[in-house]
Amino acid sequence: MKIALAQLNYHIGDFKNNVTAIREAILKAIRADVDLVVFSELSICGYPPLDLLEQKVFINQCKKSLDELAGVCNGIAAIVGSPTINPNPSGKNLYNSAYFLSNGKVLDVIHKTLLPTYDIFDEYRYFESNTEFRIIHYKGKKIALTICEDLWDEQPFDNEFEKTRLYTISPMEMLKPHQPDLIINIAASPFSYTREWAKKEIIVSKARKYAVPVFYVNQVGAQTELIFEGGSMVVNQKGEIHDLLHHFKEDFRIYDFGDVMEEISSNHSASADIYKRINDALVMGLRDYFLKMKFQTAILGLSGGIDSAVSLVLAVHALGNKNVYALLLPSKFSTEHSVTDAKTLADNLNVQYEIISIQSIVENFNDSLRVYFRDYPPDITEENIQARIRAIFLMAFSNKFGHILLNTSNKSEAAVGYGTLYGDMCGGLSLLGDVYKTDVYKLAEYINRDKEIIPRNTIKKPPSAELRPNQKDTDSLPDYEILDKILYYFIELQLSSEEIIAKGFDGNTVERVIFMVNTNEYKRYQAPPILRISSKAFGAGRRIPLVAKY
């Protein structure tokens, strides 16, 4: 039996283009004499459709699209993901399903059993859990068809590094008595640089445990903040990776079942540089956001600092240098080398930029407010005025020319509230909001791996907001090497202050950092969407009460 894996980039709710892409892949498979072509989870409508699932028109369009694709499946079978109406009057209205199409019709429908509700997932809000377990018989093979989480009932977690059973039922244990010849898993599993190793281990361990090959198909592309890396794979019955599809781009590959069952001489398990993965994820995330929203051009504030420098490079790689614009908005606190570094970077990338001094406007603001502020000395108020004036310029250019403003704040700053609401926190999309400051530097080094694109001085100089004389980030924050480790333990691994201190960190520093994280939730609540690259990004995957006292 010849099996094709179709790793495609879908657009939520774009039924016309989704169906066209799936149909073209089916016809391609037919021309190659493929027996079965497999697509990813909820491929018909795109994942995650969220509350669109509550609209009858949306569900009806899914059914109409499936009927259209079934008509194409003559001489071939296809597995396509789609929501299905639950006919039972009790329970949720829908199932998350895998359709088995062949002979011009729907031959079978398998529903998802395990519905995740952790991190960014909230599937039990919409779907009913499957309770019936059966094998699909096709071309003399018995197929255990599973949907994403159904194969992931045991998962290694970052804070334990040991397998933890999340559910009281295991779909594969229920299917095991049927003695399947292969497992097919269709998935919509988002990218996380902290969990990539776990994803591969899950697929490998299931193949080894049940002694049958696994054909895993993941979607690729970005859906707002969620980035799907693809990375579909075929693993043989010994748990050896037979083949690994591309990351961060569409792919289509064909396999002969007999070849998969044979011994392999090499293992496709070598992992790429993690900063290449992060770079590629952010570039694809930005590019897809613009393509799917039909945006054309972007703008950002270029300060001469590391965050805006890395953001500009990512934007140019995603959109092209003709579609990215930069504003340099110096005040009297901006050092000469910061302006020079920003200009050098823009010239290196051949990006159009403007230099507009905000100093006279800052002085006008301060003069207008002085009578009302009376004898209060200058403080963070005046610093924030500068940041908000810059935002006004950036948004003015955005409004006038239709540019989308890109936010350049990093995760370290967002975590501790080191940013100005309606100032440097504004924007339509956050590029680095899930990238810690120390990783921003490593991204810069990756960008400069072949030649100097980001000026060396931008990377070497101490980070500063340049809102007051001789300001350094370390005036307000611990050194980023210390801060980021504490933040990682607290946010990603969710360790307590006591557990973090026990790892050798200063107690006062830990308590102070955690206090800043907890008291700045209101700022993150108003931040733009953040491209997610970790297992615990700010946004939908981390839900903290705004007024909690904890």
Q: Does residue 187 sit in the same domain as residue 225? A: yes
Residue 499 lies in a domain: no
Q: Does residue 99 sit in the same domain as residue 159? A: yes
What does the alpha-carbon distance between residue 204 and residue 254 come to, in Å, rounded to a whole number?
A: 20
CB 136 within 8 Å of CB 108: yes
DSSP state of 517: H
What positions carry a catalytic annotation?
A: 41, 112, 148
Q: Does residue 208 sit in the same domain as residue 298? A: no
CB 145 within 8 Å of CB 184: yes
Among 262, 287, 311, identify where a domain stops. 262
Helix (H) or strand (E) holding 352: strand 352-355
Query: Residue 200: how many CB atoms within 10 A of its CB?
Result: 19
Residue 501 lies in a domain: no
By residue range, what is the domain housing residue 465?
278-477+520-525
Q: Does residue 12 sit in the same domain as residue 83? A: yes
Residue 509 lies in a domain: no
Determine phi and psi for 119, rounding to 5 degrees: 50, -125
CB 127 within 8 Å of CB 96: yes
Determine phi and psi for 310, rounding to 5 degrees: -65, -40
CATH number of the domain at 347, please. 3.40.50.620
What does the alpha-carbon distance between residue 171 and residue 173 come to, in Å, rounded to a whole number?
A: 5
Which of 284, 278, 158 has the alpha carbon at shortest distance from 219?
Answer: 284
Q: What was the pLDDT predicted at 334?
A: 73
Peptide bond into 48 cis (omega under 30): yes
What does the alpha-carbon distance between residue 448 and residue 260 come to, in Å, rounded to a whole number?
A: 40
CATH number of the domain at 104, please. 3.60.110.10
What does the alpha-carbon distance between residue 160 and residue 10 come to, in Å, rounded to a whole number?
A: 34
Among 228, 262, 296, identify where a domain stops. 262
Please identify every stretch of the chain with a pLDDT value under 50, giving residue numbers as ranges: 159-162, 270
What does the alpha-carbon distance between residue 66 and residue 46 come to, in Å, rounded to a whole number?
A: 13
The two three-digit tokens of residue 325, written as one number = 């614009």
What does the alpha-carbon distance between residue 148 and residue 154 come to, in Å, rounded to a whole number?
A: 12
Q: Does residue 381 sit in the same domain as residue 414? A: yes
Q: Does residue 451 sit in the same domain as residue 321? A: yes
Residue 212 lies in a domain: yes
Reported pTM:
0.94
CB 75 within 8 Å of CB 35: no
What residues contact residue 295 under an 8 Å CB cut-off, 6+ apart?
289, 404
Q: What was the pLDDT predicted at 289?
A: 98
Q: What was the pLDDT predicted at 265?
A: 56
What does the alpha-carbon distance between residue 502 and residue 25 come to, in Å, rounded to a whole number?
A: 54
Q: Does residue 214 sit in the same domain as residue 292? A: no
Give the HSE-up count for residue 218: Cα atoms under 13 Å, Cβ half-sphere: 25
First to last CA, the chain: 58
What does the alpha-carbon distance between residue 457 and residue 203 come to, in Å, rounded to a whole number?
A: 44
Q: What was the pLDDT predicted at 268?
A: 57
Q: Does residue 188 sit in the same domain as residue 315? A: no
Residue 466 lies in a domain: yes
Q: Does residue 247 sit in the same domain as residue 282? A: no
Query: Residue 526: how many CB atoms within 10 A of its CB?
Result: 10
Residue-wise pLDDT for 203-243, tens only, equals: 999 999 999 999 999 999 999 999 999 999 999 999 999 99
Determine phi and psi for 151, rounding to 5 degrees: -100, 0
Q: What was the pLDDT predicted at 514?
A: 97
Q: What was the pLDDT predicted at 153?
A: 84
Residue-wise pLDDT for 294-322, tens only, equals: 999 999 999 999 999 999 999 999 999 99
Q: Look at the chain and report how many structural domains it folds into.
A: 2
Helix (H) or strand (E) holding 502: none
Q: Does residue 282 sit in the same domain as residue 240? A: no
Q: DSSP characters for 51-114?
A: GGGG-HHHHHHHHHHHHHHHTT-SSSEEEEEEEEE--SSSS-SEEEEEEEEETTEEEEEEE---
Q: Does residue 361 sit in the same domain as residue 232? A: no
